[in-house]
A and B are shown apart, each in its own frame.
Chain A
Amino acid sequence: MGCADTVEESRRQLTRDAMAIAAYALPVGLVYGLAALQAHFTLLDVVVTCLVVLAGGAQFAAAGLVKGGAPWLAIAGVTALVNARHLLYSAAVAPYTAERPRRERAFMAHFLTDETFALSLAHFRRIGRFDAPGYWVAALVIFVPWTLGSTVGYLAGGAVDTRLLGLDVAFPAAMAGLSLGMVSRRRDVAAALGAVAVAVPIGLVGGVSAGLVAGALLGPLFGLAVPASATDESSAPETPEPSAEAGLP
């Protein structure tokens, strides 16, 4: 098989994988739209947040914090922590993009979500080089359905009694499920449980925002206190594990 055939075959596989992720991002976007509605976002807030931030976990977190009246600085801090993993994704993709113009790399970086990373890196590894069409398929396949789903969820949520339908539990459930999607090692489990153990008592004393920030900052220390297992050691920065199963950007 020639090089061109290899690229075409890899692009076809990328597209198949991407469609599965798109089919999942749309309904999860609906849930985010509902969460944003409950946090009293406007439609413009929802759309701009999806376009500008493009980070599902952080967007869900921000909706909950805004609803609880948290200061924006605390929201920014939690966002930075939740999205810090992107540093590892970017480092893994960087060798493939090194020859591209700086302006193009700067633009591509905005779209480097969990799913874009997972899809594009797998594609680059299959063909052994960077492929711009492949990267943009991987980027748009989450960007478009996530934004569309969020918008539709927001508009549809306004027409129903969200409490009667139990939709108010969708946000904490989504957060718990998303956290689980990121847990694959013993240290992850310790960090998540440590964060809960810190967040709840501090939240009771100092308020929900204080509990959240304390849990997010101190939770990783519980993970670091656990001796690294073989799987922890093998997870070098070159191969970070994205939470692509969760279907969030």
Chain B
Amino acid sequence: MTLGLIPLAVLMWAVTYPSRALPMLAPGIERLPAWTVSYLRLAGPAALAALAAVNCLLTAGNPPTLLVGVEPVAVAGCVLVVARTRLLLPGVLAAVVLVALARAIGVAA
């Protein structure tokens, strides 16, 4: 039997749990320098924006190239819908429908 990605899940837990537990278990540890708190606050949106960008703007090849197609347009559409509704699911659905339609009528590969 192979463990697959279970060790990765444990590794992810190991870097997540301290953030959740330390201030509750060791009061006072949260008194970080102001710039550290600001950096931590900004790390979430930065990491997810970078992730979205490399996944919709770059191809999976090695080396990657810029992706030209309906996918970046669909992701932009998702952003617009989420900005308007503040809900993730309608945005994702809009992107999926747009890509499926574009492929169905032959304007996207």
Residues in chain A within 8 A of chain B (CB atoms): 24, 27-28, 31, 41-42, 44-45, 48-49, 52-53, 55, 57-62, 64, 66, 68, 72, 75-91, 93-94, 97-98, 102, 105-106, 108-110, 112, 163-183, 187-188, 191-196, 198-200, 203-205, 207-208, 211-212, 214-216, 218-224, 228, 235, 237, 240, 243, 245-248
Number of A-B contacts (CB under 8 A): 335
Asked whether A89 and B20 contact (CB < 8 A) given A84-B40, A177-B92, A187-B38, the answer is yes
Select from chain A the residue with minimum beta-carbon distance to B40.
A84
Cβ < 8 Å to A, chain B residues 29-72 = 30, 32, 35, 37-58, 60, 62-66, 71
Cα A243 to Cα B54 with chains together (Å): 22
Closest Cβ of chain A to B81, distance in Å, is: 8
Q: CA of A172 to CA of B46 in the docked complex: distance in angstroms?
A: 14
In the complex, residue of chain B having the shortest beta-carbon distance to the beta carbon of A224: B38
Q: With A76-B15, A88-B37 given, can you name 6 additional A-B contacts, CB distance below 8 Å?
A: A61-B47, A90-B22, A94-B23, A195-B53, A196-B52, A215-B49
* B66 A204 Cβ-Cβ under 8 A: yes
B6 in contact (CB, < 8 A)? yes
Establish whether residues B53 and A215, one from each chain, have CB atoms under 8 Å apart when the complex forms: yes
Q: Which B residues are CB-close (under 8 A) to A245? A: 86-88
Collect the chain B residues with CB atoms within 8 Å of residue A195's CB: 45-47, 49-50, 53
Task: Choose from B15, B25, B37, B45 the contact partner of A80 (Cβ within 8 Å).
Answer: B15
A211 touching B47, Cβ below 8 Å: no
Given A48-B6, A175-B52 in contact, is the A87-B40 Cβ separation under 8 Å? yes
Report yes or no: A64 in contact with B47, Cβ–Cβ below 8 A. no
Chain B interface size band reads 35 or more
Contacts of B7 in A (CB 8 A): 72
- The complex places the Cα of A123 from the Cα of B85 at a distance, in Å, of 25
With most chain A CB atoms within 10 A of its CB, the pick from B24, B27, B62, B81 is B24
Q: Given contacts A173-B75, A173-B91, A178-B48, is CB(A79)–CB(B42) below 8 Å?
A: no
Q: Provide 10 A-B residue pairs closer than 8 Å at the C-beta atoms, listed in order of the A residue.
A: A61-B47, A94-B30, A109-B25, A175-B52, A177-B78, A187-B38, A191-B45, A200-B66, A223-B42, A243-B44
With the chains together, A174 CA to B103 CA distance in Å?
A: 20
Residue positions of B touching A, CB distance < 8 A: 4-17, 19-25, 27, 30, 32, 35, 37-58, 60, 62-66, 71, 74-75, 78-79, 81-83, 86-89, 91-92, 95-103
CB neighbours (8 Å) of B23 from chain A are 87, 90-91, 93-94
Query: Provided the pairs A53-B16, A109-B24 are in contact, do residues A196 and B79 lie with their beta carbons within 8 angstroms?
Result: no
Cα-based distance from A179 to B48 in the complex (angstroms):
5
- 3 closest A-B pairs by beta carbon, nearest first, are A219-B46, A215-B50, A91-B30
Contact A166 B100 (CB under 8 A): yes
Contact A199 B100, CB 8 Å, known A28-B89, A45-B9, A219-B42: no
Which residue of B4, B51, B83 is within 8 Å of A42 (Cβ)?
B4
Bound Cα distance from A193 to B66, whole angstroms: 18
Question: B54's contact among A88, A169, A177, A211, by CB below 8 Å, is which?
Answer: A211
